[in-house]
Structure 1
Amino acid sequence: MFVAAEQKQLRWYNIALLAFVAVWGLGNVVNNFYNQGLTVIVSWILIMILYFVPYTLMVGQLGATFPAEGGGVTSWIEKLSGKKLAFFAAWTYWVVHVPYLAQKPQAILIAFSWLFQSNGSFVNSNKGMMVQLLCLVLFLFFMWMSSRGITTLNRLGSIAGSAMFILSILFILLGVSAPMMTGSTIATAHMDQLSSYIPKFDLNYLTTIGMLIFAVGGAEKISPYVNKTHDPAKEFPKGMIALAIMVAISAVLGSFAMGMIFDAHHLPADLYANGAYMAFQRLGDFYHVGNLFMWVYAVTNAMASMAALAVSIDAPLRMLLADADPHFVPQALSKKNKHGVYINGYVMTAILVGIIIVLPAFGIKGMNDLYGWLLNLNAIVMPIRYLFVFLAYMMLSRQLKKFHSDYTFTKSKTVGFIVGLWCFLFTAFGCILGMIPKAGFVHDVTGWWFQLGLNIITPIGLLALGLLLPIIARRHEIAEKL
């Protein structure tokens, strides 16, 4: 009884804070401000109400229904549908990290360039292929470290993650208060007019929805905490609503601060890559501390990126291979080295990430364009894994009588299915339209078609590889029997 009581000590505010740290970051503000300017403030409010809140509440019910399952969405799918669909969920969860792994070396190099040069000249280099080859070398170095079981960066990542959270809040406080505290000029005109915040719902706007979805995704990470909450039926939805309010306030005030620092109508072309550094550098000028804020952010972001790279090489692969069914995953991929690392899985990772790093440089020349393309590719590919969350919830809504849960989002099968379907279709819609290349990173017709081709072929190719593994696995099984 005492242990059970101890396990249910989390309150709604604990859940909200845990989820906020896991989901949110300053990059979400910078990237979406570049896409939409001040109109992103209305977009943040809409996506919180129409997408983020139901998304988190659905995750809460799935986590509460299957509290003993440590595999997250893969385990949910297996319980609700079977091992075949669960394998594809596991494969998708792993393979969408490939573009993420390809971009982290870029983020590390950019952080160090700002730390030592105090400007964004590195990003504006036209030596795209040379930079990408350097990124490949850096990635392979981190893969070698991970293959030897080196975990030092994991500890640094915890420190850097907390520091990034503090810096994100600090940016909002310093940015919003800068005109009043320092007398600095507001960069964007007409910020006092409502018309400056109303989006124009055209094709260009619709192509940026995927980046918003990418920003607020990842709530399934908090599912293990649902049943550790005191009175889940009441406390968990409170926590999720508090989370949505915290994210909305951070997004709105962060975007408002960006509008004060940068002219929303004439944004720098390298804002994706350099925006956060430029923002902290300008805040340092406003508050007369020079490059101090920027240097702190550069060190923190470098540490966070290195830790994220090391962890993301190994952790998603373990989720795919740790309990892999030999009917779907070839035994060769489960081979471990003396450090307990799935060495052949690492080889597969190195090949796929290497292709994503190097191939685009043949058609996308500048470093800034490569960074922008790869970031947008992540916004296309990463949300695909959320589709399985909504699929799981739709299946659960059809089987409510079979499964008990301490927390229920809705007791109506029909309502649950419709909400799950809405989030599923909205996510798919954002991913598909996100494939259209962004104007700021395309300079000619050939480049536009090259990027469009990559945006279509990459997610299809990565997902299709998952269809090949069961075929290979079955052939190995047949060969062993013979």
Structure 2
Amino acid sequence: MENSNENSKGLTATALIAMIFTTVFGFSNVPTGYLMMGYAAIPWYIFAAIVFFVPYAMMVCEYGMAFRSEKGGIFTWMSKSVNTKYGFMGMFMWYTAFIIYFVNVSTAFFIKISAFIFGSDTTSAWRLFGMGSNQTIGLMAIVLIVLIAFIASKGIKNVSLLAKIGSGAILLVEVTVIVGAMVVLIGNHGQFAETISAGAFVKSPNSHYTSIFGTLSFAVMAISAYGGIEATGGLVDKAENSKKVPKALMGATIAITASYAVLIFCLGMFLNWNSNLAVEGVNLANVQYIVISTLGSQLGNLFGGAAAAPIVADWFTRFYGLACACMTLGSITVFYYGPLTQLIEGTPKEIWPEWLVKKDEKTGIPVNAMWVQTAIIAVFLLFISFGGTSADAFWNIIMLMTATAMTIPYIFVAGAFPFFKKNNEIEKPVVFFKSRNSANFWTVIVCCSISFSNVFTLLSPAFNGDITSAIMQVAGPVLFAFMGLLLYMRYSKMKKEAGK
């Protein structure tokens, strides 16, 4: 067990910040926000940080530090604060949503690789062994997932290394955009491409987001841009110096919020909303590449004239594709390791077969469980890739079912916080919320913001006449909760029989 401890410990404060930043911050949220709201996205990102991200991060930090000597992450937090059943239900719903995340991100990864190699998305033309593009990408995604599983199975240090690479790539993109935008601004004699005014920070230039309904839909998107911090908060026990964890967590929180605001502001230095984005072919899927390409084009034109503009734009797109691929590798490895280890290490061992929870002697990682996770993802990928139109329809249903289920556990975690604060038997070395009233107040704020997002997400398709999508989004959390309940009932039955 000495080896296990040595291999499982070792997260420096820098590594923890890198893991938090890589798993939470999404650069794509910057151009997406600008396309939807222009400068008006900035106050909404700040508002989302105030009502959700910052208080939720504080709760995660208090939990993580209080239970730093125990394994199990969010399950331990919830079960010790409320009860085992509550903790398991929240934990199981949180984990199942990540399976769908892995399927999505593993296939989208190759769009980024294509952008790096070819300067654009050419995946629809990729062919291997006479197969179509869907089958080719599906098989490549399986290879990627197996590779990620192999790296993650070797220990937390490998995970933190990829997280550092991912956060480094994010930082490089941020610096490139900020410096590039300022150079363009100077080259244009201080003239912003998108005019700054008080109204620009309130009203969206996008006609789809000027109504109350449209603005609220962006508020939902802004809140969702901050999800995922609990995946790394559960790794506090892996930190070399637990006293530095609060500073690392809050430092990352401030950096992420500031990054969204500063980067959106910088886009206005070189992007005119009407000229560059309000044109045919620009959409939420490709806007991030258009933004980077436009920056490259303007820098090229500034220093090399019209002939250099498309060349520099192409290289900027390739650079961004490589950086995005590194970001993806960093975040998927953290998520591949974190939720699974919390599920296996925290929940009652009697729920799972003995061989599944067995840990590697050197790394302390439940390797068998990790490969089972890999097999499940591979089956999904094979079915979607080779299943034809019926599989596509099935996958669309799964995606809808997962959309809401991904955020429900946030309510579980936040909802347990008042019970955590009330329990005087739990040692609390870090306290952000000094009184129970403040803890209760911010619990209500966080839970209401998430609930509002979910309700609006459910009502949005219904208002547009798509009742099926609304029903499927409700069915997801219900189904996952039912599956978790069956597992827990089986565990309770076994426990009673053992007691007899």
Same fold per superposition (TM over 0.5)? yes
Evaluate the alpha carbon distance shift between residue 14 and residue 466 of structure 1 in structure 2; reply closer, same or farther with a 3 A threshold.
closer
Match of 1:304 among 323, 327, 331: 327
**1:430 Cα deviation from its structure 2 partner:** 1.0
Match of 1:197 among 173, 196, 201: 201
Mapping of 1:132-281 within 5 angstroms? 133-145=135-147, 154=159, 155-156=161-162, 158-181=164-187, 188=194, 191-199=195-203, 202-220=212-230, 221-222=232-233, 224=236, 228-229=242-243, 236=246, 243-259=252-268, 260-261=270-271, 263=273, 266=278, 271-281=283-293
**Equivalent-residue separation in structure 1 for 2:381 and 2:347 (angstroms):** 22
Q: Is this contact kept in 2: 1:437–1:451, CA < 8 A?
A: no
- 2:143 partner letter: F
Evaluate the alpha carbon distance shift between residue 118 and residue 388 of structure 1 in structure 2; reply closer, same or farther with a 3 A threshold.
same
Say whether residues 1:340 and 2:374 are aligned partners.
Answer: no
Percent identity over paired residues? 18
Match of 2:348 among 325, 331, 334: 325
Match for residue 429 of structure 1? 452
**1:24 Cα deviation from its structure 2 partner:** 2.1
Evaluate the alpha carbon distance shift between residue 80 and residue 414 of structure 1 in structure 2; reply closer, same or farther with a 3 A threshold.
same
346-355 or 203-212: bigger deviation = 346-355
Match of 1:393 among 412, 417, 426: 417
Q: Is this contact kept in 2: 1:327–1:470, CA < 8 A?
A: no
- 1:423 partner letter: V
Mapping of 1:307-386 within 5 angstroms? 308-309=331-332, 312-313=335-336, 315-322=338-345, 324-329=347-352, 334=357, 340-342=367-369, 343-351=371-379, 362=390, 380-386=404-410
Match for residue 102 of structure 2? 101
Q: Is this contact kept in 2: 1:87–1:328, CA < 8 A?
A: no
Match for residue 4 of structure 1? none
**Equivalent-residue separation in structure 1 for 2:348 and 2:15 (angstroms):** 36
- 2:227 partner letter: G
The normalised TM-score by structure 2 is: 0.74
**Equivalent-residue separation in structure 2 for 1:80 and 1:110 (angstroms):** 43
Mapping of 1:396-415 within 5 angstroms? 396-399=420-423, 401-415=424-438
Evaluate the alpha carbon distance shift between residue 318 and residue 245 of structure 1 in structure 2; reply closer, same or farther with a 3 A threshold.
closer
Gaps of 5+ in 2: 1-8, 204-209, 301-311
Evaluate the alpha carbon distance shift between residue 336 and residue 146 of structure 1 in structure 2; reply closer, same or farther with a 3 A threshold.
farther
CA RMSD of aligned residues (A): 4.5
1:277-306 Cα offsets, whole Å, 9 max, x none, are 222222221222342222122122224324
Match for residue 284 of structure 1? 296
Q: In the comparison of the two structures, how many residue pairs are matched?
A: 452
Say whether residues 1:418 and 2:441 are aligned partners.
Answer: yes
Evaluate the alpha carbon distance shift between residue 20 and residue 332 of structure 1 in structure 2; reply closer, same or farther with a 3 A threshold.
closer
Q: Is this contact kept in 1: 2:292–2:316, CA < 8 A?
A: yes
**Equivalent-residue separation in structure 2 for 1:213 and 1:219 (angstroms):** 13
The normalised TM-score by structure 1 is: 0.76
Evaluate the alpha carbon distance shift between residue 268 and residue 172 of structure 1 in structure 2; reply closer, same or farther with a 3 A threshold.
farther
**Equivalent-residue separation in structure 1 for 2:44 and 2:118 (angstroms):** 35
Evaluate the alpha carbon distance shift between residue 139 and residue 450 of structure 1 in structure 2; reply closer, same or farther with a 3 A threshold.
farther
Q: Is this contact kept in 2: 1:435–1:452, CA < 8 A?
A: yes
